[in-house]
Structure 1
Amino acid sequence: MALIQTSLIWVAYAIAIFILLAISSVFVFIYQTPRDRAASVTTVCIFTMSALLATVLLLPVDVALVSSTTSSKWGIKKDWATPDRVDHILFTLKIVYYTLFSLDALLCLLVAPFTYFWYEEYDDAAAEDGTQTVAGRFWGAFKYTVVFIVLILILFLVGFFVPAAKNLKHSPHRDLHYFKDLLTENHGERALTFALGLLITVGTIVYVIYTASGLALLPVAMIKSAPSISAPTLVENTSAQLEQNRERQRQLEGRNEGRDGGLDSRDRRELESLVREERTLIRRERLAAEASGEERGWLIKSWIKMEAVFRPLKLLGGYILMILVLFIWVSMLITSIDKAKNSVCKASCGYLLGHINIFQPVNYIFVKSAKVFPIDYVIFLLLVLFFFCASVVGIATVGIRFLWVMIFRIRRRHTSPQALLLATVLLTLIVLAINYSVAMVVAPQYATFGPQTYCDRSPKHPGESPDCSNHKNAIKSCTELAENPVAREICTPSVISTFINRVTVNFPFFGVVAFWAQFAFLAVYLAVFITTLFRTPKLSTDETDADLEEEEEEGLLASTGRRFNATWQDITGRAKTQGTSRYGTTNGAGSGRE
């Protein structure tokens, strides 16, 4: 029975890996420019994103495996969960974690930079005349990658020799069994812990900037995908504006016929403006006709109407996501306040929280759902993908910048290979920070012990399991501070929580930065969210013609009615006539100016 349960858990993880591979592939092919694709860049990006998502999605597998060794109902170890079997499960998980973390670090710090320079070294002219060889291109890319190799060596050497956990020796909790297990004496393990802590710290800074913004903007992106003017209405309005434009041009040309000097300067400027406007309106008319399915087959028209039918679900989904993010935001705030107030050793151990003191709803949902695998796994998968998609939206909106200077823009079907590689590196760092945030802030008890409980009673005879069958109130949830010998024997912390807590205990600086960055994350999200309520930020669009993008200065919520009206008009195919002026519609549906 135990073997079947363990096998099913790993099978669920394997299925998730295939799903992640498909998601990573879709992401890369959607964002990269079709005209400038490189097989090496595509392969590295897909593989890197699959590996980093596989790392964070190992957490529920970790929790499920360690939780399967105990009976949550009675708070005792299962008969098959001997110390050797438990050690074997933990050893297997450690190998998988060490492999994935090392792979993520190498992909981020070595493979991605090498691929970047490998792509940059390609020369079309040299490749055509045969003067550029694979060996020469490899050496050219390797010369620049040496800097990153030196960086990796310095990183591990510093971690190998740096002293750790000096302040913990003076902590009143230094004798706790759980803390003793976190202190590392092995220099190789300490080097890996230091490297992981540094990458999490750097990733947390990126996470605060991009993921916090993306969580506020992702629902907005879903809502804004529904236009506030229907395609039939846009076609009619654009045609009316185009006719008005041409009529004005005819008036100007007719008024100046026969003049010796031709048009005066004012009329000439107006005519030039009208000509530019005419070109814009012609492009807009063509795109609007394509969007409405005019001059197309019935199949295309049916597909467009089906998209319009399901558009309200996307609109409602955007508002549901807004509520969900606020729910997660409140839960993160509760945990952060709990850590700041009730941490057992404050900054000396990176604000490690011994047990939850304030009810936290997201953590409660995960702990309860973990009793029936794979319910918690599905919820966790959706949560991670939500954070990942929010990070992508944040990077696409903010762009890849150095301070205030824009280096690359991330847009669908317009992202260069270099920008895609840099975005992949940023996502790798972000996912490491998400690993910390989910495990330590979003659902700390779930990520550490899952639904594990222990019977807080001593056994009647040595070697026997404690009996709580008649004392249900003696069954307690496992925590880091449980010093009952029975609890130490029954409760098994997850491997990922041990890794992260080992980073914060041995190198408290990393833990302090990661902890206080959560407050910065909450503040950035709140600022962007409030901004979206009053003035919708301009998101990067995928339109062929930027003139089709609407300039929406009003609040997002105020435009909801117009979006539903536009959806209904797209379904029925009937346009709502709107008044037009010299430069466009009177209600702001579109502007004829270029």
Structure 2
Amino acid sequence: MALIQTSLIWVAYAVALVLLLAIASTFVYIYQAPRDRAASVTIVCIFTVSALLATVLLMPVDIALVSSTNIPSQGRRKNWATPNHVDHIVYTLEVVYYTLYALDAVLCLLVVPFTYFYYEEYDPDAAETGDQTLGSRLWGAFKYTIAFLIFVVAIFLVGFFVPFARQAKHGSLPDLDFFKHLLQENHGERALTFALGLLMLIGTLIYVLYTGAGLALLPVALIKSAPSISAPTLAANTSSQLEQNRERQRQLEGRNEGREGGLDARDRRELEALLREERTLIRRERFATESSGEDRHWIVKAWIKTEAVFRPLKLLGGLVLMIIALLIFTSMLVTSIDKAKNSICKAKCGYILGYLNIFQPVNYIFVKSSKVFPIDYVLFLLLVLFFFSASVVGIATVGIRFLWLTLFKIRKGHTSPQAMLMATVMLTLMVLAINYSIAMVVAPQYATFGPQTFCDRDPRHPGEQPDCSNHRSAIKPCTETTSNSGAKEVCTPSVVSTFINRVTLNFPFFGVVLFWAQFAFLGVYLVVWLTTLFKTPKMDHEQMDADLEEEEEEGLLASTGRRLGATWGDITGKARKGNGNYGATETNGEHS
């Protein structure tokens, strides 16, 4: 029975990995610029995004496996859950976690930078003449990657020695076996803990800005994403208007051909207006072509069709996501206040919270759903994808910046390979921060013990062994601060919570910054969300001319008939009759 249950949990994880690979591939192909696509960049981006999502989605597997050893209704372990068997489960999870974490670190700090410089080394002229070889490109990329290699070695060396000084300096921690267990690490674990703690810290700074903004913008982006005209109709109308524009230009030029002094003032103003209109129409025609998915990869075309099919549901989906985002905001705020007020040792151990003192809705939902696997796994997958999508929307909106300078823009079908690689690194770091946020703030009880319980002694009969079958004892949820000796033999903390608590306990500075950054995250979300109530920041506005921007600013429920017609046009790929005057640009001259 134990083998079957464990196998089903791992099978569910394998199915999720296949789904993640499809999601990662779709994400990369959607945002890449088709004409600049490089095989090396595409493969590295897809593999890296899949690896980072696989890391965070291991959490419900971890929780399900450790919880499978416990019988929540009786507060005891199952008969097959011997100490050796439980240790084997924990050890297997540790191996998988450390493998994935190490893989994420190597991809983020070495593989992606190397791929970036490898792409930059390419010289088309030198390649044609034979002056540039594969070996020269590899060597050029390696030279620039040496700095990242030195950084990786440095942080691992620091991780080897810093905890010794810290433990010697701070010897006063709560006398709990839970904390003693966290401090029992070997040198390799200590180095990896420090390295990933540092990456988590850097990722949290990015996570606060981008994911915080994206969490507020994503629902609004869904609500306001439906156009009032389909891409095929827009392309057909624009082509007709462009032809009329050019015909009028030919008429003006022909009428003034041979005239001394050229065009008169009136015709010159009209021609200049027609030229401006022509540039606008050319941009609009290019936008319509890209929106319809012509000459694009089949994945992009399929994505555009899928978006069109589900477009009528976007309004409802956006409203639902907005409610979910507010629920997550409330839960994070409740947990953060609880940690600040009731943490066992405050900043000394990174604000570890022994147990929740205030009702927390998201945590309650996950704990209850975890009793029936894989309901919690499906909910957790949706939660992770929500945070990941919010991060993507945040990057697409804000762009990749250094202070006030925009280095790269992330836009659908227009993202350069260099921007894709930098966005992948940022997403990797942000997912590490999301891992902390979900495990320690969004659903802390679920992420640590799941639905596990223990049978506590009856205070009226302190000498008796706890026995919940005769109601002489009480069944209580497992917590980090449980002092009952029987609970220690029943409650098994998840590996991910142990690892994160190990980071914050061994390196309290990381824990303090990670904790207070959650308030900054909530602040960014609140400011952006309140801003969207009055004015929605527009994404990818450089793709559209002034008329399309004005069209985007229409009310959420305005022109419903035209929006449904546009949706049908995008699904069928056919232009919709009518709307012939759509997007006409007024000029200072006369139109023929």
> What range is the shorter-chain TM-score in?
0.7 to 0.9
Supply the AA of the counterpart residue of 1:416.
S
Q: Is the 8 A contact 1:305 1:571 kept in 2?
A: no
Aligned to 2:312: 312
Where does residue 299 of structure 2 map in the other structure?
none
Residues 381 and 304 of structure 1: CA distance in aligned 2, closer, same or farther (over 3 Å): closer
Q: What is the 5 A alignment of 1:10-409?
A: 10-162=10-162, 163-165=165-167, 169-171=171-173, 174-228=174-228, 261-265=261-265, 268-281=268-281, 284=284, 310-409=310-409
Could you report, residue by residue, the CA deviation over 1:182-209 in whole angstroms, capped at 9, with x for unpaired residues?
1245333221111111110000001111
Is the contact made by 2:399 and 2:410 (CA closer than 8 Å) also made in structure 1? yes
What is aligned with 2:549? 550
User: Contact (CA 8 Å) 1:400, 1:406: kept in 2 or not?
Assistant: yes
User: C-alpha separation between the residues in 1 aligned to 2:256 and 2:7?
Assistant: 86
Aligned residue in 1 for 2:296: none
CA spacing shift, 1:542–1:489, aligned 2, 3 Å: farther
Cα distance change, pair 413–250 in 1 and its aligned pair in 2 (3 A)? closer
Q: How many angstroms apart in 2 are the aligned matches of 1:147 and 1:52? A: 23
Task: Report the TM-score when normalising by structure 2.
Answer: 0.87
Shift of 1:569: 6.9
Q: 1:548 to 1:6 in 2, by over 3 A?
A: farther
Matched, 1:520 2:520: yes
* Distance in 2 separating the partners of 1:196 and 1:232: 48
- Please report how far the alpha carbon of residue 507 of structure 1 lies from its aligned counterpart in structure 2 after TM superposition: 0.7
Deviations 1:185-236 (A, max 9, x none): 5333221111111110000001111111111122222223201456799689
Q: Which moved more, 1:116-125 or 1:432-441?
A: 116-125
The alpha-carbon distance between structure 1 residues 316 and 124, as it changes in their structure 2 partners (threshold 3 A), is: same
Q: Distance in 2 between matches of 1:373 and 1:466?
A: 28
Aligned counterparts of 2:189 and 2:304: Cα–Cα separation in 1 = 57
Residue of structure 2 in register with 1:583 after alignment: 586
Counterpart contact for 2:400–2:408, Cα < 8 Å: yes
2:558 maps to 561
Instruction: Compute the displacement of 1:354 (Å).
Output: 0.7
* Alpha-carbon distance, 1:10 to partner: 0.9
Give the residue type in structure 2 aligned to 1:549: L
Question: CA–CA distance in 2 between the matches of 1:125 and 1:349?
Answer: 57
| Aligned pairs, number | 570
How far does residue 536 in structure 1 lie from its aligned partner after superposition? 1.6
CA apart distance, 1:575: 4.5
**Do the aligned partners of 2:156 and 2:192 also contact (CA within 8 Å) in 1?**
yes
Q: 1:40 and 1:232 mapped to 2: Cα distance?
A: 33
Distance 2:538 2:523 in 1: 21
User: Comparing 515-524 with 232-241, which one deviates more in the overlay?
Assistant: 232-241
| Per-residue CA distance 1:87-136 (angstroms, 9 max, x = gap) | 11111111111111111111111111111111122222222222323222
Q: For structure 1, which segment, 39-48 or 349-358, has the greater mean C-alpha deviation from structure 2 after superposition?
A: 39-48
In 2, the alpha carbon distance for the partners of 1:31 and 1:292 equals: 15
Are the equivalent residues in 2 in contact too, given 1:194–1:503 (CA < 8 A)?
yes
Change (3 A) 1:64 1:460: farther
Secondary structure of the corresponding residue to residue 166 of structure 2: coil
Letter in 1 for 2:436: Y
Residue 587 of structure 1 corresponds to which residue in structure 2?
none
Q: What is residue 8 of structure 1 aligned with on the other side?
A: 8
Q: Unpaired runs of 5+ in structure 1? A: 294-302, 585-591
Task: Tell me which amino acid in the other structure corresponds to 2:549.
Answer: E
Query: What is the distance in 2 between the residues matched to 1:400 and 1:319?
Result: 28
Q: What secondary structure does 2:454 align onto?
A: strand
CA contact (8 A) 2:228 2:566 kept: no
In 2, distance between residues paired with 1:307 and 1:22? 16
Paired AA for residue 144 in structure 1: Y
CA separation of 1:272 and 1:365: change in aligned 2, threshold 3 A: same
* TM-aligned CA distance change 1:320 to 1:269, over 3 Å: same
Q: Which whole-Å CA distance do the structure 1 matches of 2:38 and 2:431 have between them? A: 25
**Cα distance change on mapping 1:105 and 1:67 into 2, 3 Å:** same
Deviation sequence 1:325-365 (CA, Å, 0-9, x none): 11111111111111111111111111111100111110000
| 3-state SS, counterpart of residue 415 of structure 2 | coil
In structure 2, C-alpha distance between the alignment counterparts of 1:358 and 1:453, rounded to whole Å = 18
Q: 1:53 to 1:232 in 2, by over 3 A?
A: closer
**Gap change, CA 1:134 and 1:216, over 3 Å in 2:** same
Query: What SS is found at the alignment partner of 1:455?
Result: strand
1:507 aligns with 2:507: yes
2:486 counterpart residue number: 486
1:419 CA displacement: 1.2
Q: Is the 8 A contact 2:311 2:567 kept in 1?
A: no
* Between 186-195 and 247-256, the greater mean CA deviation after superposition: 247-256
Report the CA distance shift for 1:158/1:243 in structure 2 as closer, same or farther (over 3 A). closer
Displacement of 1:39 in angstroms is: 1.7
C-alpha distance in 1, partners of 2:214/2:262?
55
